[in-house]
Amino acid sequence: MDYAAVPNLPTMFFDQARRLGERPFLWAKRDKVYEPTSYAAAAGSVRRLAGGLRQLGIKPGDRVVLVAENRPEWAIADLAIMAIGAVTVPAYTTNTVDDHLYILDHAGAAAAIVSTERLAKRVIPAARSAEVCDTVISMEPPSDPHASGINLYGWDQVLAMGDESDRDVEADIEASARAIDRDETACFIYTSGTGGRPKGVMLTHRSILANCMGAYWLLHSIGLGDEVFLSLLPLSHSYEHTAGLFFPISIGAQIYYAEGPDQLSANLQEVRPTIMTAVPRLYEVLHDRILRGVERKGGRSARLFHDAVRLGQKRYDDPSSLGFGERLYDRLLGLLVRRKVGQRFGGRLKAFVSGGAALNPDIGKFFLALDVALLQGYGQTEASPVVSANPPGAIKIHTVGPALRGVEVRIAEDGEILVRGDLLMKGYWHDPETTAATIVDGWLHTGDVGMVHPDGYIEITDRKKDIIVNSGGDNISPARLEGKLTLESEILQAMVYGDKRPYLVAVVVPEASFVEEWASQNGRSASLEALCDDDDFRKAVGQAVERVNRDLAQIEKIRRFVVAREPFTTENGMMTPTLKVRRHKVRENYWEKLDALYGRG
């Protein structure tokens, strides 16, 4: 595709739908079986919904909030909103009523589209209280179609308003879409807010198309053809919105919607994806599941597996270091071990792409040793979002790869990574001061610290705001230490703390299987809340912390720690919907215990 010739996102879709016709586009589970929606059928629904939105008075530039789990209607709604020149405002399904009210009012949304009754119970009260929004469209038939204080419409009802049997309306939707300028705002992506109220990032058709082009040139060497994507991350996040929806559209791919993290293993077998994007937490979970399965099998199978990892990592570090016998054995392990691992992912995976947070290099090397092409990338919502990624066949997992085609990167005097190119946001909605402080002379100030190696590969060393400066003035990376802690089999999650303090402490969440095993062996309740203050249990967790400390410099050692009462989750507010730890929330929840760690002798 000639991305430079594409006018905008909905036109790109309509052109692909005309070319691909009845070819499957969107797949979702219905009655436990994946069923497809073709490109042609999806285009028809987009036109009808766009016409219906017009009938409801939605105009170019109006904002429409979209609250739904990943499903075909999400993509159709997004495209229909954009097709009439309006702006999609995705919101997370985990949002509370107050969260929805904030976004509805901050965006000045004219309407909201919601999927299920459960989500509507949070969106409708917010819409009733909102200053502007008075219309809600429900994808599933509402139980109370006459909800007071709001104009409530069913999905089919709005589709009927824009019925495509009127060919003039159909042609008019596509013609008006084609006239939308590339620099018009396509969507607001509200950042998930690791440090407070989210900001509305304005992404344009140009910026998202620039990312699609960069992704194409990144992956073209693997032979892009009839690609199959498995979509797991929330489409309300810029990473999945671009990499899991518009990039697949740009190459005419099929998109399957995963049923959720718990069903991922089964979905991988059913879908057999060729490309998948995810955050590092997914790869950590897969890593742990694979290792637990290996240990359960034991015996010869376990020995062969560990040999495959050991030789694969040695080959990755230095291919010339393998002797003749090791090379032969490594090839044999490819047949006996690595091929079976590949089958766990469906057997035809060309690339896993990791983004959204830093990938632990040890996790990355584990998968590379098993011949799973794991491409670590880097980006920000403000960059639509991908800035760089490791290319297939030239992976340096401790880096985030070189900048995508059309992207410039340089390092400021203080080490901050600066980015320039068509991928940059238009700015923050209703926040010109923060916009001006973030994009200076055309360069996005990312807030990340790193370096660009002579070969162009970018290495992230830390986040400016997350760097701990202890009372001795030493700069310490909490993310690196947290990554080391969570590699231990006893530890699921961790948050390291110590700014302006003499030493580091941590909040540690033990792994559920470790909790159950320890409780069973010691005659205790397997409740984490009951165990968090148990001295014997703390000593058992402390053994894992001590193993990590052995390889750390003195200033990096975790001197003391708190065992968490519960895991960090989106429900308790300690993680963002994209599974990043909300440090400020963890600190708030454990402030007294953390402070007490510094009061001991």
What is the residue-wise DSSP string for 222-242?
G--SS-EEEE-S-TTSHHHHI
SS3 539: helix
Domain at 467-597: CATH architecture: 2-Layer Sandwich (3.30)
Q: CA 308 to CA 329: how far, in whole Å?
A: 9
- What's the mean pLDDT in 395-418? 95
pLDDT of amino acid 436: 97
Q: What is the pLDDT of residues 30-41, one digit of tens each?
A: 999 999 999 999
d(CA 569, CA 109): 28
H or E element: which one contains 324? Answer: helix 324-333
What distance in Å separates the CA atoms of residue 78 and residue 418, rounded to the nearest whole number? Answer: 30
pLDDT in the model for residue 601: 40
Distance CA 191, CA 241 (A): 13
DSSP state of 244: I
Contact 8, 177 (CB under 8 A): yes
Cβ pair 246, 238 in contact under 8 A: no
pLDDT in tens, 316-342: 999 999 999 999 999 999 999 999 999
Token pair recorded at residue 57: 């008075």
Rg for the chain, CA atoms, rounded: 25
Orientation of helix 535-549 relative to helix 512-522, angle to 10°: 130
> Helix, strand or coil for residue 103?
helix
340-362 average pLDDT score? 91
Mean pLDDT of 505-509: 96
Full 3-state SS string of 326-364: HHHHHHHHHHHHHHHHHHHCCCCCCEEEECCCCCCHHHH
Specify the pLDDT at position 164.
Answer: 55
Structure tokens at 58: 């939605």
Comparison of pLDDT for 600 and 190, the residue scoring more: 190
Confidence bin at 166 (pLDDT 50/70/90):
low
Cα separation of 25 and 39, whole Å? 5
> Which pLDDT band, with edges at 50, 70 and 90, does 194 fall under?
very low
Q: Is 83 within 8 Å of 50 (Cβ atoms)?
A: yes
Task: Kindly tell me if the per-residue pLDDT of 539 is higher than 80.
Answer: yes
Give the separation between CA 318 and CA 322, rounded to whole angstroms. Answer: 8
What pLDDT digit, counting tens, does each position of 13-26 carry?
999 999 999 999 99
Higher-pLDDT residue of 149, 427: 427
Reported as type and span, the H/E element at residue 168 is: helix 167-178
Confidence label for 564 from pLDDT (cuts 50, 70 and 90): very high
Which residues 6+ apart lie within 8 Å of 66 measured at CB? 74, 77, 78, 81, 88, 89, 90, 91, 112, 113, 236
Average pLDDT score over the chain:
93
Share of the chain above pLDDT 70, in %: 97
Rounded CA gap, 154 and 424, in Å? 36
Q: What kind and span of H or E run contains 89?
A: strand 87-90
Average pLDDT for 276-283: 87
Helix, strand, coil distribution of the chain in percent, nearest 5: 45, 20, 35
Q: Compute the average pLDDT of residues 367-388.
A: 96
At residue 525, the 3 state secondary structure works out as: coil
pLDDT value of residue 167: 57
Residue-by-residue DSSP string for 362-431: HHHHHHHHTT--EEEEEE-GGGSSEEEEPPTTS--TTS--SBPTT-EEEE-TTSEEEEESTTS-SEETT-
Inform me whether the pLDDT recorded for 215 exceeds 90: yes
Residue 8 pLDDT: 98
Q: Is 202 helix (H, G, I), strand (E, B) or coil?
A: strand
The residue behind tokens 């799973």 is 372
Look at residue 439 and tell me whether its pLDDT is greater than 70.
yes
Question: What confidence score (pLDDT) does residue 192 get?
Answer: 60
- Answer yes or no: is pLDDT of 171 > 80: no
Same fold across 3-180+236-260 and 467-597 = no
Residue range 3-180+236-260, CATH number:
3.40.50.12780
DSSP string, 38-81: EHHHHHHHHHHHHHHHHHTT--TT-EEEEE--SSHHHHHHHHHH
Which of 240-249, 287-296, 538-547 has the least mean pLDDT?
A: 287-296
Q: Which of 362, 372, 302 is nearest to 334 (CA)?
A: 372
DSSP, residue by residue, 482-518: HHHHHTSTTEEEEEEE-TTSSSEEEEEEE-HHHHHHH
Q: What is the mean pLDDT of residues 545-570?
A: 93
Which tokens in the block code for residue 403?
Answer: 């900048």
Taking the chain, what is the end-to-end CA distance rounded to the nearest angstrom? 66
Coil, helix or strand at residue 296: helix
Q: Is the pLDDT of residue 551 over 90?
A: no
Helix 72-83 × helix 39-55 angle, to 10°: 50
Domains of the chain: which residue ranges?
3-180+236-260, 275-416+438-464, 467-597
